Amino acid sequence: MDRCRLILHSVIEVTPEKKVVWSLHQDDLPGVRLAWVTTLQVLPSGNIVIGNCHAGRDNPQLVEVTREK
């Protein structure tokens, strides 16, 4: 990822030219609601682990997604 911006309920990847190339929003994942996105890590596989803080007991605290979601 060249640049990734955390906007609480979303993750948005942009190029240095400010073109959005990937995003994940609050309700994009079936059965998971993003609450307060506090951290992320790109794994060697290319998958992304997202910290989902204050998500409540019905939602995971860590979420691993592919770029295809």
Residue indicated by tokens 């979420």: 63
The pLDDT tens digits for 10-44 are 888 889 999 999 999 988 999 888 888 888 899 99
The pLDDT tens digits for 43-61 are 999 999 998 888 778 878 8
Using DSSP, how many helices (H) and how many strands (E) does the chain show? Answer: 0, 6
Determine how β-strand 36-42 pairs with β-strand 10-14.
unpaired
Domain map (residue ranges) of the chain: 3-65
